[in-house]
Amino acid sequence: MNKDTIDRMFEDLSGQFDTQTPPVGHQERFLDRIRAQKKRPTVRKRSLWASLSMAATLLILVGLALGQFTTAPSVTEQVAKISPEIGQTQFYFSSLVEEQIKDLEARRSPKTEKIIGDTMAQMQALESDFSLLEEELINGGNSKLILSAMITNFQTRIDLLQSVMEQIEQLTTVKNITDEEHTL
pLDDT band at 74 (very low <50, low <70, confident <90, very high): low
pLDDT, residue 162, reads 92
DSSP state at residue 40: S
Q: What is the pLDDT of residues 11-57, one digit of tens each?
A: 887 777 777 777 888 888 888 888 888 776 655 556 777 778 888 88
Task: Give the number of other Cβ atoms within 10 Å of residue 106's Cβ.
Answer: 7
Domain ranges of the chain: 75-177
pTM confidence score: 0.53
The mean pLDDT of 80-85, rounded to a whole number, is 69
Long-range CB pairs of 109-112, under 8 A, 24+ apart, other chains included: 111/171, 111/175, 112/168, 112/171
| Secondary element (H or E) of residue 92 | helix 84-106
